[in-house]
Structure 1
Amino acid sequence: MWIAMGCVGALLLLGWAVFRWVRATERRAAGAVEFVEAEVTRRRAELERREAAVAVLEDERLRELERLAGLTAGQARAQVLSAAETAARREAVVTVREIERQARQDGEARAREIVASAVQRMASEQTAETVLTVFRLPNEELKGRIIGKEGRNIRAFEAVTGVNLLVDETPEVVQLSCFDPVRREAARLTLETLVADGRIQPARIETVHAHSLGEVERLCVRAGEDALIAAQVGEMERELVRTLGQLRYRTSYGQNVLAHLVESARVGALMAAELGADVALVRRAALLHDIGKALPSDVAGSHALAGAEYARRWGESAEVVHAIEAHHGEVDPQTVEAVLTQAADACSGGRPGARKESAESYVRRLARLEEIAAAQPGVTKVFAMQAGREIRVMVQPDQVDDIAAQVIAREIAKRITEELTLPGQTRVTVIRETRAVEVAR
């Protein structure tokens, strides 16, 4: 029993010793933490004091710099920006002058080439104007989709665009046939979009063709702007540029009219420079002298007088207008520049290989076919197709009944027989179509 009590007492003494050792350890750890916190606080205060001192020194340095320079920081910044802007402007002016100098050198070299061509009367390269555009398909299966069920798609395409779509046995190729190159280009863009999209149906054809007409309009504007650059003519009203660009799709005796105008402007400028005349005026007049050919056929007067009136309407000077109206001798030329415009037109159109009578006669004949049919009441669209062997006439169904359609076809055929001499026969087809459209929701 005494031994057990001694063991218990020893255990109690050992526990008390362990307890006191743990408490002493905790007090030492707490003291160390307090020391570290105090050291951190002291160092933070020291850092803040140094930062304040640095800010004071920076302010004093800035004030000293402003005193020595006689400027505030804002004024100095403004002067630096102004100096940088002046340097940039100077570099830009130097660059522009270098570009202008290079352009003048290139223009002089090009002018020498034109003089040599004009003197030697050598025909320049011309774009072959045809009535056929070959369109390549990604695969042969698309021909069936283009034709459609019972030929529905191809009939809708020809009715909307006024262009013959020829599908033959040539693999992966269809052909677009039309004498009007503007209409043919719009049809080509329409077919290209339909083939890429894959949805070929009558309603889709109408939507895509409307968009293609807008694209052709944009291309005409671009062609007019390129012509201004090629002929070295300055700014011009946008409507004149657009009308000028339409001539890229026109021909005169087989010669591209827009290329003819650019060529005339260059040759006229050469002659004006030799004679000491107004070179810029001759360039502008020669570039615009055939703009009347792009105007609608219902405009009264010759293309020279109509073009002069059109140029006057869009703000061209009296000298340019006079040169345009006098370039075919309908008005006596009163200035040297007007005479030089006549000469430039003759040089460009009279050189060997420039023009072909047959192509111009062909286009005029087909255009006259469409004019005769369009003169009938109730007619909305007219398309001369298959080289003039067929005319398709679209009429308003609410204005023209079935009997009136037969009368219109007979009247058109009669007038064609009386007014035109055509090889073979011309079939007149009057189409009266009624559509009912509803939207399912």
Structure 2
Amino acid sequence: MNVTIIFELIATLFIGGCIGYFLSKSSLNKYRENKLKEAEDKAAAILKEGELKAENIKQEKMLQAKEKFLELKLQHEEQINQREKKMLEVEKRVKDKETKLNEELHQNNNQKKQLEQAINENLIKAESLTKKQAELNQMHQQQVEILEKISGYSAEDAKAELVEALKQEARSRAQAQIQAIVEEAQLNAKAEAKKIIVQTIQRVGTEQAIENSVSVFNIESDEIKGRIIGREGRNIRALEAVTGVEIIVDDTPEAILLSCFDPVRREVARLSLHRLVTDGRIHPARIEEIVAKTQQQIEEEIIEIGKKTIIDLGIHGLHPELVKMVGRMKYRSSYGQNLLQHSREVANIAGILASELGLNPKIAKRAGLLHDIGKVPEEESEYPHAILGMQWAEKYGENQTVVNAIGAHHDEIEMKSLIAPIIQVADAISGARPGARRQVVESYIQRLRDLENVALSFDGVNTAYAIQAGRELRVMVQSEKIDDQKASQLSFEISEKIQNELTYPGQVKVTVIRETRAVNIAR
């Protein structure tokens, strides 16, 4: 019973399931058909809309194409018009040139006719001249024959004698010309040598250096003078004894004079006094201690000065003793001229001269720096300073050319190289240049004044300036009184007066300047 019921239930469920399946499948198919129809309608609408849009785009593109066509057509017509205009202009120019060529052709034809007429006239004149030339030749031959009969010389003999006379005259003139050329060459050589020396002087600029034998030590108050003198003068006596310098304490306010011909000792005394006054402890034992330290400092400073000098001049491999002598030259003077500054100047001048003459400038600089080391001996010597310097240079292994130049720069020994006369010339230039020594600078200034006064003595001269160390005189004249011709004459007259009345080295160039100015003011 129960089994039957179960089977009935299973059968009922199975039949119900089948019916449901078929019903759902039918419903799904119907739904799919509806959706498909809706999609087809929608696709048809999109296609219709696309066709409308395509038609609109087609209409727009056609309209744009028509507008572009019209624009291109207008541009084409404009280009055609411009080309026609240019062709008309070219055609006009061609016609103008053709007209001009026709005119020129007409003128050329006329000139051709005139030229043919002139040629015919010249041919007629040439025939006439040929006849006259033949007549002249015949007359000349007759005259020659007459002269031969009168003189007894044939034409060939006369020619030979004339040629010989011309040869003699040419030889004499050639000899005179050769002599003039030789003299001119000598003058040019002298002028060129002067030019080299003058250029060398101008390329070396040094300060005026004048040394005295007295130094001034400034103090803050006169009370310090008493402390320097000390009780019964023992401080000042001790200071003079250890330094070798005379210390002058007088009524000069706030100053003490240090007198000594040895600048090194004078500098030691000055620095020692400065240290003692600054320290405040002044007594004989302290004085000896300070002076000893100052001497050591000066010795070190001398070596540093020597090293710096040779570095500045580009000199290498100098013996330490020679370096020390170079440094000592700072504290020596010769005829009022600082010896180190003089030696540096001689070295520079000698180097430039050697370069101008194609020699070794380094050797020349070395000899120029060392040429006066014989003036700085630590002890007195009976030898001249040139010989003493030569001996020291040889002792410390200097080049023989340098040794000879040092010894020969005052002609104590024979010169053996071209460097020696260069050192001699450079030494003379340095000693004689304006400003080197007191007596030289005074005469130099007076010579410049004399040059200017000579120019100012002429009528029409406004101002005159002596420039380039007196080698040129610039003269400014009044334009209303002196014209161009008178300016040239004035220059000659001034140069003649300078040559006749003044004494000067080298030559003086006189330049007369005449200037006319027109000045207006725009307001």
Under a length normalisation based on structure 1, what TM-score does the superposition of the two structures give? 0.52
**Change over 3 Å in CA distance of 1:294–1:119 after alignment to 2:** closer
Q: How does 1:42-441 map to 2 (within 5 A)?
A: 118-119=200-201, 124-356=206-438
Give the secondary structure class of the aligned counterpart of 1:134: strand
Deviations 1:345-395 (A, max 9, x none): 11111223323579xxxxxxxxxxxxxxxxxxxxxxxxxxxxxxxxxxxxx
Aligned to 1:75: none
Greater relative contact order: 1 or 2 (C-alpha under 8 angstroms, separation 6 or more)?
A: 1
Equivalent residues of 2:325, 2:376 under 8 A apart: yes
Equivalent residues of 2:204, 2:348 under 8 A apart: no
Aligned to 2:178: none
**Change over 3 Å in CA distance of 1:299–1:179 after alignment to 2:** closer
Distance 1:323 1:194 in 2: 45
One-letter amino acid matched to 1:330 = E
Distance 1:347 1:118 in 2: 10
Distance 1:246 1:207 in 2: 23
Aligned to 1:93: none
Of 291-300 and 188-197, deviating more is 291-300
Distance 1:220 1:308 in 2: 21
Give the secondary structure class of the aligned counterpart of 1:128: coil
Give the secondary structure class of the aligned counterpart of 2:286: helix
Deviations 1:201-258 (A, max 9, x none): 1121112112211111112112212221332222311111001111111111111111
Give the secondary structure class of the aligned counterpart of 1:175: strand
Q: Point out the structure with the larger helix share.
A: 2
Distance 1:357 1:299 in 2: 28
One-letter amino acid matched to 2:420 = A
Equivalent residues of 1:133, 1:175 under 8 A apart: yes
**Change over 3 Å in CA distance of 1:262–1:123 after alignment to 2:** closer
Return the index of the structure with the highest Cα Rg. Answer: 2
Equivalent residues of 1:123, 1:353 under 8 A apart: no
Distance 1:304 1:179 in 2: 21
Distance 1:125 1:245 in 2: 18
Aligned to 1:36: none
Task: Kindly state the Cα deviation for residue 313 of structure 1 after the two structures are TM-superposed.
Answer: 1.1
**Change over 3 Å in CA distance of 1:153–1:297 after alignment to 2:** closer
**Change over 3 Å in CA distance of 1:193–1:357 after alignment to 2:** same
Identity across aligned pairs (percent)?
47
Equivalent residues of 2:221, 2:254 under 8 A apart: yes
Distance 1:117 1:189 in 2: 41
One-letter amino acid matched to 1:242 = K
RMSD of the TM alignment (CA)?
Answer: 2.5
**Change over 3 Å in CA distance of 1:335–1:115 after alignment to 2:** closer
Give the secondary structure class of the aligned counterpart of 1:176: strand
Distance 1:253 1:128 in 2: 9
**Change over 3 Å in CA distance of 1:227–1:122 after alignment to 2:** closer
Task: Kindly state the Cα deviation for residue 147 of structure 1 after the two structures are TM-superposed.
Answer: 1.4
Distance 1:115 1:219 in 2: 35
Deviations 1:266-300 (A, max 9, x none): 01111111111011110101111111111245334
Give the secondary structure class of the aligned counterpart of 1:212: helix
For structure 1, the residue ranges without an aligned partner over 5 or more in a row are 1-113, 359-441
Deviations 1:307-347 (A, max 9, x none): 11101111111121111111111112111112211111111
Give the secondary structure class of the aligned counterpart of 2:341: helix
Task: Kindly state the Cα deviation for residue 125 of structure 1 after the two structures are TM-superposed.
Answer: 2.0
**Change over 3 Å in CA distance of 1:279–1:296 after alignment to 2:** same
Equivalent residues of 1:305, 1:325 under 8 A apart: yes
Equivalent residues of 2:209, 2:341 under 8 A apart: no
The alignment of Structure 1 onto Structure 2 pairs a total of residues equal to 245
Equivalent residues of 1:153, 1:201 under 8 A apart: yes
Task: Kindly state the Cα deviation for residue 173 of structure 1 after the two structures are TM-superposed.
Answer: 2.6
For structure 2, the residue ranges without an aligned partner over 5 or more in a row are 1-195, 441-523
